[in-house]
């Protein structure tokens, strides 16, 4: 894609006629080829037609080697009488006199000359062109066309977009070409499509990044003011589509629009339309229409910046969250545009190929198991990250009061399925209140400031935190299940990525990797498995253990007494 735009209309007009009394004319009517080369980024189907306006003989100045045409005659591609009338000349005016009139009136108005020859829209019934010497079609995948012409002369080359389905993929050029060589010639079609580029405005501008839910994504759109010669108006409309996972919030978007380094004011310099006009779970389209765009100078940079927020509806798979932009522009200098700043129905416009960015996000899944690798409930974890956690979506377990529940709450805040007894009642928060374990999924906004989430695992022993980006995550077991030994110290692991438009390329980093973490490519989650072992419960005062001590001690004492009695009897 070219960084700058060439002319959309290119005319090579040189009607300087050289007539010498002692000139030696060299007649050359050998058939010639005119090769038209179309820009690679033009994906439309073009038909090029060559109309011979004047023919003549080639004269070469022996001193300078410069070649020109003399002895001009009307060519086969123009209605001579109509040309005389259009130029305001007498019916007997010669070809040379017509050429002189064109030189006088259109030397600096190539577009006016094109209108004179081609006629006016919409039907071009006043065209003074007659029969094309040759024509050729360039399909979207082809870049050159060859026109066979009869020899030296002035040729008007008409460029048309032939397929309605391709009309928005290219632009039109008109050529007035003076062929003064007796060899084949090659010219470039100068239509050049505007381009538009969008990046995520970080690290110098990237096409992909990672982010957490709630993070602001800074976007930057750039284009360049094209050569608008020949246009009476030029439409320049930016169409930006945010996927459902990205929210445009006018209060925080900080939208800026500038041309040539000068900031434009909404309403006067441009018009912004947001559809829908309030944030929803679906796509959001931003349409930025530039007002009176033709006032700007060719080559000036067009820059648009704004922020969007990664929301809880974001795609957390490797597909990511895409933002796409394209540009609608005027593409026919022959058309008299009548719209104000947007095209009226049916007016010819082009649309650039889209430019897109992708933002990826991922999940962490804690898996709590016992020593037999069965799911274990009752554990509470704190997951913290100093840089990679904002607002998050959490799936966790919550213990709720339920008369038919299966859990009792202990004084240390953990829960057990063992009912209290007269001997253990003091260790329970309540002897009568029961709880059930309910699985919940909700957005937690506290993580925005604290950079951590604390929650119990759910009924499957899982704690899932969704919508995370790169960073080192620290896991602390704040409450171990009743009867189990918890983690003796926090563990951590690092999430890394190398995002591009094909995927996030997630990986477990080498720093801080004290936890056994793996990336599950099927579920697009980082998984950390934490195993707890059952603790050893020593007998405590008031428990059944003291009874055992008493009974055992009594037996030992009784045995000792019996042995003493027997020994005394033997002595007697």
pLDDT of residue 12: 31
pLDDT tens digits, 124-148:
788 899 998 888 888 877 778 888 8
Span 201-226, mean pLDDT? 95
Do 231 and 294 form a contact (C-beta atoms < 8 A)?
Answer: yes
Classify strands 380-385 and 270-275 as parallel, antiparallel or unpaired.
unpaired
Do 458 and 395 form a contact (C-beta atoms < 8 A)?
Answer: yes
| SS3 state of residue 539 | coil
Q: How confident is the model at residue 112 (pLDDT cuts 50, 70, 90)?
A: confident
In CATH, what number does 32-188 get?
2.60.40
Span 363-381, mean pLDDT? 92
pLDDT of residue 302: 97
pLDDT of residue 140: 75
Q: How confident is the model at residue 550 (pLDDT cuts 50, 70, 90)?
A: very low
Query: Mean pLDDT for the chain?
Result: 83
Span 468-485, mean pLDDT? 91
Q: Most confidently modeled of 103-107, 188-192, 525-529, 554-558?
A: 525-529
CATH topology identical between 32-188 and 362-534: yes
Q: How confident is the model at residue 567 (pLDDT cuts 50, 70, 90)?
A: low
pLDDT of residue 554: 52
Residue 296 has pLDDT above 60, yes or no: yes
Q: How confident is the model at residue 182 (pLDDT cuts 50, 70, 90)?
A: low
Q: Most confidently modeled of 36-45, 156-165, 274-283, 471-480?
A: 471-480
Kindly state the percentage of the chain with pLDDT values over 70: 82
Across 141-244, where does the E strand assignment appear?
A: 144-149, 153-161, 175-179, 185-188, 197-200, 208-210, 216-224, 236-242
Do 24 and 145 form a contact (C-beta atoms < 8 A)?
Answer: no
Q: How confident is the model at residue 380 (pLDDT cuts 50, 70, 90)?
A: very high
Q: H/E/C letters for each residue in 87-123? A: HCCCCCCCHHHHHHHHHHHHCCCHHHHHHHHHCCCCC
Partners of 359 in beta bridges: 209, 321
Distance CA 179, CA 318 (A): 57
pLDDT of residue 15: 30
Q: pTM for this one?
A: 0.72
pLDDT of residue 301: 97
pLDDT of residue 3: 28
Residue 24, Cβ neighbours under 10 Å: how many? Answer: 9
Distance CA 101, CA 403 (A): 103
Residue 358 has pLDDT above 90, yes or no: yes
Provide the residue count of the chain: 572
Kindly state the percentage of the chain with pLDDT values over 90: 50
Do 178 and 154 form a contact (C-beta atoms < 8 A)?
Answer: yes
Span 357-369, mean pLDDT? 95
Residue 555, Cβ neighbours under 10 Å: how many? Answer: 10
Measured CA distances, 7 to 39, 136, 207, 333 (Å): 12, 22, 29, 11
- Which of 404, 410, 421 is CA-nearest to residue 378? 410
Residue 14 has pLDDT above 50, yes or no: no
- 197-359: CATH topology is Immunoglobulin-like (2.60.40)
Q: Which one has a higher pLDDT value, 154 or 568?
A: 154
Q: How confident is the model at residue 444 (pLDDT cuts 50, 70, 90)?
A: confident
Listed by start position, the domains of the chain span: 32-188, 197-359, 362-534, 543-572
- Which of 187, 174, 183, 180 is CA-nearest to residue 38? 187
Residue 161 has pLDDT above 80, yes or no: no
Q: How many CA atoms does the CB half-sphere of 440 hold within 13 Å? A: 12
Residue 204 has pLDDT above 80, yes or no: yes
Do 68 and 59 form a contact (C-beta atoms < 8 A)?
Answer: yes
Give me the helices (H) in 172-327, please.
250-253
Write out the CATH class of domain 362-534.
mainly beta
């Amino acid at each position: 894609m070219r960084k700058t735009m060439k002319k959309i209309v290119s005319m090579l007009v040189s009607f300087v006629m050289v007539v010498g009394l002692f000139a030696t004319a060299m007649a050359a009517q050998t058939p010639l080829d005119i090769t038209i080369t179309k820009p690679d980024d033009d994906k439309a189907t073009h038909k090029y037609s060559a109309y011979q306006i004047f023919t003549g003989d080639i004269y070469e100045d022996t001193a300078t080697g410069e070649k020109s045409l003399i002895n001009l005659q009307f060519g086969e591609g123009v209605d001579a009488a109509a040309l005389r009338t259009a130029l305001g000349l007498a019916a007997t005016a010669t070809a040379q006199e017509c050429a002189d009139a064109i030189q006088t009136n259109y030397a600096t108005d190539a577009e006016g000359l094109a209108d004179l020859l081609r006629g006016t829209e919409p039907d071009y019934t006043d065209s003074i062109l007659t029969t094309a010497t040759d024509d050729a079609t360039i399909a979207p995948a082809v870049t050159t066309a060859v026109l066979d012409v009869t020899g030296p002369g002035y040729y008007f080359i008409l460029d048309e977009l032939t397929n309605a389905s391709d009309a928005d993929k290219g632009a039109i050029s008109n050529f007035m070409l003076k062929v003064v060589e007796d060899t084949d010639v090659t010219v470039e079609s100068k239509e050049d499509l505007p381009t538009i580029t969008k990046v995520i405005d970080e690290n110098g501008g990237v096409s992909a990044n990672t982010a957490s839910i709630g993070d602001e994504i800074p976007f930057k759109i750039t284009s360049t003011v094209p050569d608008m010669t020949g246009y009476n108006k030029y439409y320049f409309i930016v169409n930006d589509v945010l996927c459902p996972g990205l929210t445009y919030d006018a209060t925080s978007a900080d939208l800026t629009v500038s041309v040539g380094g000068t900031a434009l004011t909404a309403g006067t310099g441009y018009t912004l339309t947001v559809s829908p006009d309030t944030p929803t779970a679906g796509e959001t389209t931003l349409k930025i229409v530039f007002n009176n765009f033709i006032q700007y100078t060719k080559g000036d940079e067009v820059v648009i910046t704004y922020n969007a927020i990664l929301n809880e509806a974001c795609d957390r798979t490797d597909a990511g969250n895409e933002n796409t932009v394209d540009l609608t522009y005027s593409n026919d200098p022959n058309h008299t545009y009548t719209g104000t700043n947007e095209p009226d129905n049916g007016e010819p416009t082009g649309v650039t190929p889209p430019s897109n960015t992708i933002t990826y996000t991922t999940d962490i899944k804690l898996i709590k198991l016992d020593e037999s690798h069965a799911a274990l409930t009752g554990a509470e974890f704190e997951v913290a990250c100093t840089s990679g956690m904002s607002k998050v979506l959490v799936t966790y377990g919550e213990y709720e009061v339920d008369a038919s529940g299966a859990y009792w709450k202990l004084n240390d805040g953990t829960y057990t399925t063992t009912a209290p007894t007269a001997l253990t009642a003091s260790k329970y928060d309540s002897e009568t209140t029961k709880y059930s374990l309910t699985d919940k999924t909700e957005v937690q906004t506290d993580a925005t400031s604290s950079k951590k989430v604390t929650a119990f695992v759910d009924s499957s022993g899982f704690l899932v935190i969704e919508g995370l980006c790169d960073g080192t995550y620290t896991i602390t077991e704040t409450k171990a299940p009743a009867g189990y030994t918890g983690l003796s110290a926090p563990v951590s692991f690092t999430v890394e990525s190398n995002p591009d438009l094909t995927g996030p390329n997630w990986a477990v980093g080498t720093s801080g990797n004290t936890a056994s973490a793996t990336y599950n490519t099927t579920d697009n989650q980082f998984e950390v498995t934490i195993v707890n072992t059952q603790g050893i419960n020593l007998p405590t005062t008031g428990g059944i253990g003291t009874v055992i001590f008493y009974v055992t001690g009594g037996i030992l004492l009784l045995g000792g007494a019996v042995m003493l009695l027997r020994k005394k009897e033997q002595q007697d």
